[in-house]
Structure 1
Amino acid sequence: MSLSGALFNAFSGLTANARAAAVVSTNISNATTEGYGRRSLDLSANSTGGYGGVRVDGVQRHVDPVVLADRRLSDAQLGQGGALLNHATTLESLVGESGAPGSLTVALAEFETALISAASNPAAVQRLETVAYKADGLADKLNAISNGIQKSREQADQSIATQVETLNRTLERVQVINRDLVRSAGGNQDMGALLDERQKLVDAIAEIVPLRVVERDRGEIAIFTTGGAALLDGQVRTIGFTQTSTIEAGMTQSSGALSGLTLAGYDVSTDQKGLFRGGSLAAQFEIRDERAVETQANLDAIARDLAERFGPGGPDTTLIAGDPGLFTDAGIAFDPVNEVGLSARISLNDLVAPGSGEVWRLRDGLAANSQGPVGEARLLQAYTTALSDSRLPASGSLPAMAQNVADHLSTFASSIAGDRVRFEDDQTYFVAQNTALTELELAGGVNTDQELQSLLEVEKSYAANAKVMSVVDDLIKRLLNI
């Protein structure tokens, strides 16, 4: 080999060593960076010019596509489970644990206890005031739960709007990176930073909706939901949604009162079998359009049962058809056609409101013309019986079985608590699964010990190439001195 050939070989080696050292140092400095893919230098023999040497072909980024895809699907499950668990926990806090102070079941028990106490001494005005106060508290508790349910629907609607905006913005950024990668295809420059950024963007999308990534030519990718919707394939398909600021009972997507999703201008299903099934976005639709609606319907049915037990045809014989009962629909008589949202409107009859001075009507009848004997307890006893009597509910939202009011409330509270426990168990599994996949992904990432060993090898190679150049330099000097 000629001196010039040896010099060329050593110089190409030094160039490769410098590039390799930079790659190793980048790996070590980003060992804990989220979304970073380990780099390695691609080298090949240089066959041009007849000298040999080494050629840098580029920098390769290493990720395990199978583990990455599984972890992204796990991210979607984690997001979905977290949203459903948060909703169930919120509902449970609104209803309260059975037997706990401030809970719905305790509000009923306190009302029933007040009735029993008043029936034992109907002449005691203070005991009648307590009945009115506890009845008002029961109605207020139903109002608070109903308002909380609608608030959760509003929050779900707001979350949908935020996530749709995030999806559209992130997809556009991925498209920009795709174009940059296509323009840079064929060169030997390190595109790892762009690939890292794109991976983080796709990960953000995966938390909202489960997806599949398909590799296209020249480093470009296409993104599809697992339900089959094409979000990005050459061009971004924009997702549309319109937020509703205030949601009331009875407002649904099917009635046109609430917005659904559009994809590239076309309506798409948002149910659990739709194109966007799974993930936190689908969970928010499930909360807004299914779970909260069902919970509201059950609560309204309980409020209806309570109003009808104490309305015309019930214990108070002074009432006639069309009269407001002990529990009213915002001050008027309850009409069965207006069951939707009743739990938000149910209230104690103003005639016997606490402090009204007419609580004697609890003893003598709401429509009584005057007070009767102060020792008469039959109506108060009949009220207590009305609460404890098992009867078939008139509403189709409750099970078609004879139950008393306490049974209805206990079943309702138990269902809410059961949902929370079930979602908590699911989320525990999702967290464990996601943690395992994340650790598996990280295991294939940067190993600092191996990188330091590689750096030592680079150092040895650099020293060898430098030695060759030094020897060549010395030989050239000797030739020049001859």
Structure 2
Amino acid sequence: MSISGAMNNALSGLRAVSRSAEIVSSNISNANTIGYGRREMELSSASVGGNGAGVSIDGVSRNVNQVAINDRRLADGALALDNQRVGFNERLGNVLGKTDDLNSLNGSLTQLETSLIEAASKPDSDARLSAVVSAAENVVDELSRVSDEIQNIRMDADQSISKTVATLNDNLQQVEKLNTAIQQQLTSGKDGTALMDQRQVIIDKISEVIPLKEYPRDGGKVALISSGGAVLLEGKAAEFGFTPVGVIDAQMSLAGGTLNGLTMNGLDVTVNSSRSIVGGGELAGMFEVRDELAITAQSQVDAIARDLVDRFQDPAVDPTLGATDAGLFTDNGLAFDPLNEVGLSGRLKLNAAVDPSQGGDTWRIRSGINAATPNEAGDASLINAMADALTGKRVAASGAFSPASRSASELTGEFMSLVAADLIAAEADATFSRSQVNTMTQLEFTESVDTDKELQDLLRVEQAYAANARVIQTLSELLDTLMRSL
């Protein structure tokens, strides 16, 4: 081999080890960076005219465990779904309060029961009759507050869906653009690994919204397929559509056409289904909150309101009532119609006949809603009948309750217990999903960058650098010797 050939070999070796040192340093410094894929330099033997000409740097490859990443992404989506359920039950539980809290729904019913008992012991006391009216009004306010909060939860979910869909479309577009940029980088012989890292981080965000798997394509591109089989990205990104509404009330629903659903490339997509092509993630959780969990909760609160209305709308309790007359509690001032139960808790009103602020008289608590004149001041029979109606055992006429007889406060207590049990179950599911995410993430990092191995590679790079530098030094000394001999 000629001196110039040996010199070229050594210089190409120096370039290779210099690039290797950069790659190893990058691997070590980014060992804990989210989305970073371990780099390896690809080398091959170079030749000129059939003779060895050192080494050639063919490129830099990015190595990740795609199976582990796909599994972790599915776990991310499941955790996001569970967190939506936890958030709903926490928020509902907070508005309901605790069963022993006087400011809770159950507490307001306890106060009403207490006020009726006290009024029965002294029916001629205007103060005690006023206390009954005040306690009844508090029950109405609590039911309305719970109903309003449920609809607020639905509105928040509707707005969150809109924002999430917009972000989802932006992220899919970014991945499409990064696919193109990566292909251009690789085609021109440049390093596209940094763009691949960026793309992985964006895909991770998408997978929380819609669980997916990533599949390699030619030119460094990738395709994204949801766990339900929807093609989110295959060359061109899918486009999702959703239109939020301004205000949601108890009567509005997706099935009734008053709320909007999700579209994909202009076609309607079913979200709340075990077979949904975009189910299993945060987006599905938001739709579940808006269209299932909140609606179920509303139906249970309405069932409690109906049970309360029925207890006092019975002529057997208040003989002054006719078959179609409203009792102590009304549906927005009217008698309750069983065919119009949806949203009753938000429309519940205290009968104006007993409310002085609406022109009524408190003595009707003692004498009867439709009494023409006050009865004897010491007659507590109606008040006792109302107290018995409130505490009497009866089966709820509607709602997802067990077929057992309960008092009004026991029915409310069961509802609060159901919400608490749902929260515990949702938290347990979220804990399991979080454990899966942590396990998958640990596996992903374990098989990504091994810092011990990288340090060993760095030692080999140092040795190679020293060897090539020694060759160049030897050749330089040889040339100096030759020049001195001339």
Which band: TM-score by shorter chain? over 0.9
Q: Distance in 2 between matches of 1:468 and 1:397?
A: 85
Show the 5 A alignment for 1:61-100: 61-100=62-101
Which of 473, 476, 480 matches 1:477? Answer: 480
Structure 1 partner of 2:421? 418
* TM-score, reference length from structure 2: 0.95
Conserved 8 A contact 1:107-1:134: yes
Q: Distance in 2 between matches of 1:310 and 1:400?
A: 21
The Cα of 1:315 is off from its aligned counterpart by 1.1
Does residue 120 in structure 1 map to residue 117 in structure 2? no
The Cα of 1:396 is off from its aligned counterpart by 6.1
Superposition RMSD on alpha carbons, in Å? 1.7
Show the 5 A alignment for 1:258-277: 258-273=259-274, 274-277=276-279
Conserved 8 A contact 1:84-1:423: yes
Conserved 8 A contact 2:140-2:350: yes
Structure 2 partner of 1:5? 5
Q: Distance in 1 between matches of 2:423 and 2:6?
A: 74
Conserved 8 A contact 2:65-2:448: no
Conserved 8 A contact 1:301-1:398: no
Does residue 380 in structure 1 map to residue 383 in structure 2? yes
Show the 5 A alignment for 1:439-454: 439-454=442-457
Once the two structures are superposed, what CA deviation does each residue of 1:360-406 show, in whole Å capped at 9, x if it has no partner?
11011111122111111000100011112223433365544443322
Structure 1 partner of 2:40? 40
Q: Distance in 1 between matches of 2:305 and 2:135?
A: 15
The Cα of 1:188 is off from its aligned counterpart by 4.0
Q: Which consecutive unaligned segments of at least 5 residues does structure 1 have?
A: none
- Secondary structure of the structure 2 residue equivalent to 1:47: strand
1:162/1:314 CA distance change after superposition, 3 Å: farther
Structure 2 partner of 1:56? 57
* TM-score, reference length from structure 1: 0.96
1:341 maps to amino acid: G
Once the two structures are superposed, what CA deviation does each residue of 1:395-451 show, in whole Å capped at 9, x if it has no partner?
365544443322321221111111001011111111122112112212223334433
> 40-49 or 254-263, which moves further after superposition?
40-49
Which of 285, 300, 306 matches 1:298? Answer: 300
The Cα of 1:100 is off from its aligned counterpart by 2.5
- Secondary structure of the structure 2 residue equivalent to 1:429: helix
Conserved 8 A contact 2:210-2:279: yes
Show the 5 A alignment for 1:208-219: 208-219=209-220
Conserved 8 A contact 1:392-1:402: yes
Aligned residue pairs, count: 482
1:20 maps to amino acid: S
Q: Distance in 2 between matches of 1:312 and 1:381?
A: 14
Once the two structures are superposed, what CA deviation does each residue of 1:139-189 show, in whole Å capped at 9, x if it has no partner?
111101111111111111111111111111100000001112222334542
Structure 1 partner of 2:180? 179
Structure 1 partner of 2:162? 161
Does residue 223 in structure 1 map to residue 243 in structure 2? no
1:313 maps to amino acid: P
Structure 2 partner of 1:327? 329
Does residue 338 in structure 1 map to residue 344 in structure 2? no
Q: Distance in 2 between matches of 1:329 and 1:218?
A: 66
Q: Distance in 1 between matches of 2:435 and 2:108?
A: 39
Q: Distance in 2 between matches of 1:275 and 1:257?
A: 23
1:377 maps to amino acid: A
Q: Distance in 1 between matches of 2:404 and 2:419?
A: 19
Structure 2 partner of 1:390? 393
Structure 1 partner of 2:136? 135
Structure 2 partner of 1:431? 434
Q: Distance in 2 between matches of 1:15 and 1:445?
A: 26
- Secondary structure of the structure 1 residue equivalent to 2:232: strand
> 401-410 or 49-58, which moves further after superposition?
401-410
The Cα of 1:47 is off from its aligned counterpart by 3.1
The Cα of 1:333 is off from its aligned counterpart by 2.1
Q: Distance in 2 between matches of 1:314 and 1:143?
A: 27
Q: Which consecutive unaligned segments of at least 5 residues does structure 2 have?
A: none
Structure 2 partner of 1:284? 286
Conserved 8 A contact 2:309-2:327: yes
Once the two structures are superposed, what CA deviation does each residue of 1:253-276 show, in whole Å capped at 9, x if it has no partner?
111111111111111111222111
The Cα of 1:194 is off from its aligned counterpart by 0.6
1:73 maps to amino acid: L
> 26-35 or 189-198, which moves further after superposition?
26-35
1:45 maps to amino acid: S
Q: Distance in 2 between matches of 1:354 and 1:469?
A: 105
Structure 2 partner of 1:191? 192
Once the two structures are superposed, what CA deviation does each residue of 1:36-87 show, in whole Å capped at 9, x if it has no partner?
1121211122234413311111111121111111110111011011111010
Structure 2 partner of 1:25? 25
- Secondary structure of the structure 2 residue equivalent to 1:162: helix
1:314/1:339 CA distance change after superposition, 3 Å: farther
Q: Distance in 1 between matches of 2:206 and 2:160?
A: 14
- Secondary structure of the structure 1 residue equivalent to 2:394: coil
Conserved 8 A contact 1:95-1:103: yes
Conserved 8 A contact 1:76-1:209: yes
Conserved 8 A contact 2:261-2:268: yes
> 74-83 or 401-410, which moves further after superposition?
401-410
Q: Distance in 2 between matches of 1:27 and 1:353?
A: 76
Q: Distance in 2 between matches of 1:449 and 1:396?
A: 62
> 98-107 or 65-74, which moves further after superposition?
98-107
Once the two structures are superposed, what CA deviation does each residue of 1:185-220 show, in whole Å capped at 9, x if it has no partner?
345422110100000010000111111111111111
- Secondary structure of the structure 2 residue equivalent to 1:46: strand
2:392 maps to amino acid: D
The Cα of 1:25 is off from its aligned counterpart by 2.2
Conserved 8 A contact 1:8-1:53: yes
Q: Distance in 1 between matches of 2:342 and 2:364?
A: 29
Conserved 8 A contact 1:78-1:431: yes
Once the two structures are superposed, what CA deviation does each residue of 1:287-342 show, in whole Å capped at 9, x if it has no partner?
11111111111111111111121115241111223332100112222222221100
Q: Distance in 1 between matches of 2:85 and 2:72?
A: 20
Q: Distance in 2 between matches of 1:450 and 1:423?
A: 42
Q: Distance in 2 between matches of 1:428 and 1:181?
A: 37
Q: Distance in 2 between matches of 1:120 and 1:34?
A: 71
Q: Distance in 1 between matches of 2:239 and 2:41?
A: 38
